[in-house]
Amino acid sequence: MSNIKDNEISALVEAAKDGFAKAYAPYSNFHVGAAALTTNGNIVKGCNVENASYGLTVCAERNCLAQGVISGEQAFSAIVIYTNQEKLTPPCGACRQVIVEFLAPDALVMAVNHNNDKKQWTVNQLLPDAFTPKDLLEL
C-alpha cells in the first residue's frame, strides 16, 4: 500500500468528518463524508447529495473526487470515507469505478466512523481487474 503518513490520515479523517457534517441526505438519512489526499499534498472533501428524484443521488466519494478535479487535481493517493455507522461503510460499486479512474491500484481507501474504528483496503482489493483508461488505448 502506498505510504500515507499518520498525520495525513488524521487530517483526512477530520476533513471527511467535515464533509459528513455537510451531507444532504433527507431521504435516506444516511450521511456520508469523504476526503481525498491529492498527489500534490492537498486535501479535498465531499458529501453525499441526494435528490427528490432518488436516482440522481451522488455519493460522497464521487463528489469528493469531482471537487478535486474542479480544483485542478486529477491524481489522488488516498481517500477516506466517514459515517456514523457501527458497521464501517465501504465505497459502493459506482464509487469504486470512479476511484479506479483517479487513484493508483495500490492507493489507500479507508473507512472510518464516529468511534474512530477503521478499515482499509487498496484500490485493487476493492475492484480487481478493473476497467481503466488503459483499456481504451486500443480503440
- The stretch among 56-64, 65-73, 113-121, 125-133 that binds ligand THU (CB under 6 A) is 56-64
Provide the grid cell at 66.
Answer: 469531482
The DSSP secondary-structure symbol of 136 reads G
* DSSP string for residues in 67-110: HHHHTT---EEEEEEEES-SS--PPPHHHHHHHHHHEEEEEEEE
From 8, 14, 61, 101, active-site residue: 61
Name the residue nearer to ligand THU (CB basis): 5 or 109.
109
Provide the grid cell at 82.
Answer: 466517514
CB 20 within 8 A of CB 82: yes
Residues 62-91, mask of contacts with ligand THU (x by CB under 6 A): ---------------------------x-x
61 catalytic, yes or no? Answer: yes
Catalytic residues: 61
Residues that bind ligand THU in the complex, under the rule CB under 6 A: 25, 28, 30, 32, 48, 50, 57, 59-61, 89, 91-92, 95
